[in-house]
Amino acid sequence: MKSCIKFLCFILLCVFVNSQTVFAIENTKEKKKNIFTFAKEKIKLGADKIKIKKTQKPKKEKKKARVSEIKLPQVFENSANNKFKIMTVEDCVSYTLQHNPNLQVSESKINVEEYGINIQRASYAPRFNARVNYGHNTNNGSRIINSHENSLGVNLGVSELIWDFGKTTAKINMSKYKTLAVEYDHETAILNAIYDVKINYFKVLASLANIDVLEENVNINTLNYDRVKAMYEEGLKSKIDMVNAEVNLTDAKIKLTEGQNTLEASLIDLKNSMYWEEDVDFLVQNTEEFNFLKPNYNEKIENLENFELKKPEAIKDEEGLITLSAGIERKNIIKDYAFKPFEITKKDAVQKALTQRPDLKSLKMLTDVQEESLAAVKKQYAPEITADLNWGYTKNEDTYSITLTVGAGVGLGSVNPYKIHHEIKQGEEYLNIAYHNYNTSKADIFWEVQANYVNMRQLEKKIPLMNEKVKATLENFELADGRYNVGLNNYIELQDALTNYNNSQRNFIEAVFNYNVAREKLLKSMGVR
């Protein structure tokens, strides 16, 4: 009896120790080298997980099981009556990270994988069973005494997996690597969301800058029409000049309307990418690399649907003639524009991308998942060491009995060597596929970053040159304006000079927009927020 009690205590001690230690990270033996010759870069599981937890998964309140329905803002009919708040690009990014449902989905996927770790760990947890039995036995016959007997039994038991030679350990590590892969996917989703919001923000800034050019063009053509009409009435210009001036004024107003539509569409795209839920509208501000905005831009957004241009004030020269180019210099789109190149070398950009791109890290984790999966398949031949403890109580009408069973065993389940052999071969191919995907992505990132870097640098060089072009076309327009006033050139030359000036300004704005897009694209390809 004493030996049974000692054995029972030993089993219970094993169960306790096993249940306490199993939930720590279990390190498998050093993995065999793959057929690939490149050195495998091991990612420290614990350190990566701690880093991600700090940056992406701060401690938060317990969520309700049901997800609340998205709140949509009111439809703004008249911008003039709306309430507005100022939103920088950083504010828009911060709002997006809090309200983007796609990011919430990726967070839930992380939770799903974390629960999967505990599900695999549960293989080491004690398994309990309980059963209540009732029996009624009737014994009738011609040569025996008739009898009736009732019995009631209760059985309680607990069983514990002590060790299965690494099969469960491999499955636990698979779940851990899957969790890390999903966390890196979540980081990739954040990068994509930030990139989309910033690009749409830059589109709004570009649309506002273009409207400034288009409004100036309307003002110039309005003055030109008034001037040509007055000169026609004095007999100094032909009627065809007056008709052309009217046509060009109408065309300038049409282009301004199109620009206002583009601005409104850009604002809608920005709010959509932010998943804007507030019942207030917002105003954008300059960024360091996109600083065209002027004080009156807020008024343009606030009165977007009812904005009307004020009739420009004519400025006359010493001879009393209207000069179209007067005052343009102080309104010039590039006058206050400041440009600061992005300071980073190509080598540093590539190195940073290869070390912190979350999608590359995710693929790296998937190679580890396949390695653990292959290890689990190979260990199907391994036995399992288990311990059992059962207690039973049976009560008959006149007697009762109590049983206590303590045991341990080593066993091998149903094994199909032929099936396992082919599962191992299949696992090896899955592992090769995972490494090929990792290598492909690594090479693509290597060249993608360089291409984005070169494109950004090319636009950096282009912007100052286009700045000079705007100045040159402005000077040409001023000369053409003065020559037309004194009759030294025709209307077509004047209009060509104005068109070139407007186009150079809009091309300059487009170049600045493209530069900002290229810069954000480079940062995204580097894995930088």
Walk across the sheet containing 400-411 and list its strands. 127-139, 147-163, 384-396, 400-411
Domain boundaries, the chain: 2-20+82-134+148-526
The confidence score (pLDDT) of residue 283 equals 85
Q: Of 50, 70, 49, 293, whose CA–CA distance to 176 is shortest?
A: 49
How does DSSP assign 170-212, residue by residue?
Answer: HHHHHHHHHHHHHHHHHHHHHHHHHHHHHHHHHHHHHHHHHHH
Instruction: Kindly report which listed range (44-58, 116-130, 140-154, 497-511) carries the lowest average pLDDT score.
Output: 44-58
Beta carbons of 216 and 292 less than 8 angstroms apart: no
Q: Band the pLDDT of 15: cuts 50, 70, 90.
A: very low
Residue 491 reports pLDDT greater than 70:
yes
Q: Of 521, 520, 516, 519, whose CA–CA distance to 205 is shortest?
A: 516
- Tell me the pLDDT of the chain averaged across its residues: 81
3-state secondary structure string, 238-263? CHHHHHHHHHHHHHHHHHHHHHHHHH
The confidence score (pLDDT) of residue 81 equals 58
Q: Band the pLDDT of 355: cuts 50, 70, 90.
A: very high
Report, as an integer, the average pLDDT of 165-169.
89
Residue 115 reports pLDDT greater than 80:
yes
Residue 164 reports pLDDT greater than 80:
yes
Distance (Å, rounded) from C-alpha 325 to C-alpha 316? 10
Q: What is the number of H-type helices and E-type strands within the chain? A: 12, 6
375 CB-near residues (< 8 Å, 6+ apart): 28, 31, 166, 170
The CATH architecture one would assign to domain 2-20+82-134+148-526 is: Up-down Bundle (1.20)
Angstrom distances, CA of residue 162 to CA of 24, 406, 407, 409:
15, 14, 12, 10
The confidence score (pLDDT) of residue 28 equals 40
Q: Band the pLDDT of 30: cuts 50, 70, 90.
A: very low
Q: How many residues does the chain have?
A: 529
Coil, strand or helix at 275: coil
Instruction: Kindly report which listed range (79-83, 280-284, 516-520) carries the lowest average pLDDT score.
Output: 79-83
Q: Find the DSSP H helices in 234-342.
A: 239-274, 297-302, 328-331
Using alpha carbons only, give the angle 409, 415, 421 rounded to the nearest 5 degrees: 135
Residue 137 reports pLDDT greater than 60:
yes
Distance (Å, rounded) from C-alpha 510 to C-alpha 207? 10
399 vs 317, residue with greater confidence: 399
Backbone angles phi, psi at 30, to 5 degrees: -60, 130
Beta carbons of 359 and 184 less than 8 angstroms apart: yes
DSSP at 166: T
Instruction: Kindly report which listed range (24-38, 163-177, 291-305) carries the lowest average pLDDT score.
Output: 24-38
Angstrom distances, CA of residue 275 to CA of 103, 196, 264, 379, 422:
11, 12, 16, 49, 49
Report, as an integer, the average pLDDT of 515-529.
93
The confidence score (pLDDT) of residue 51 equals 39
Q: Are strands 147-163 and 400-411 parallel, antiparallel or unpaired?
A: unpaired
Beta carbons of 278 and 73 less than 8 angstroms apart: yes
